[in-house]
Amino acid sequence: MKIIDLDGKEVKVTDLSLAILQADDFRRYRVNKPTEYQLYLYKYWEDFYQKLVLLDTEIRQQK
């Protein structure tokens, strides 16, 4: 399974359930005074998580 991340790079997913859990954790990390890069990471991990969940939903609907 593969998804395209926010940077347009192809990411191979070998364990979808674990990837969803990890992305969910990463998207929740926050700091008090985020830098511009940290704000980007917030968007990156939210987008990544949403794409993984969508992939999971598509796979479940095919079964």
The band of 63, judged by pLDDT with boundaries at 50, 70 and 90, is: confident
CA quadruple 50, 24, 41, 5: dihedral, nearest 10: -40
For 16-49, write each residue's pLDDT tens digit: 999 999 999 999 999 999 999 999 999 999 999 9
d(CA 29, CA 57): 25
For 42-57, write each residue's pLDDT tens digit: 999 999 999 999 999 9
Helix, strand or coil for residue 30? coil
The pTM (predicted TM-score) of the whole model is 0.91
Taking residue 42's Cβ as centre, other Cβ atoms within 10 Å add up to: 16
Residue with tokens 């593969």: 2
**What is the domain partition of the chain in residue ranges?**
2-62
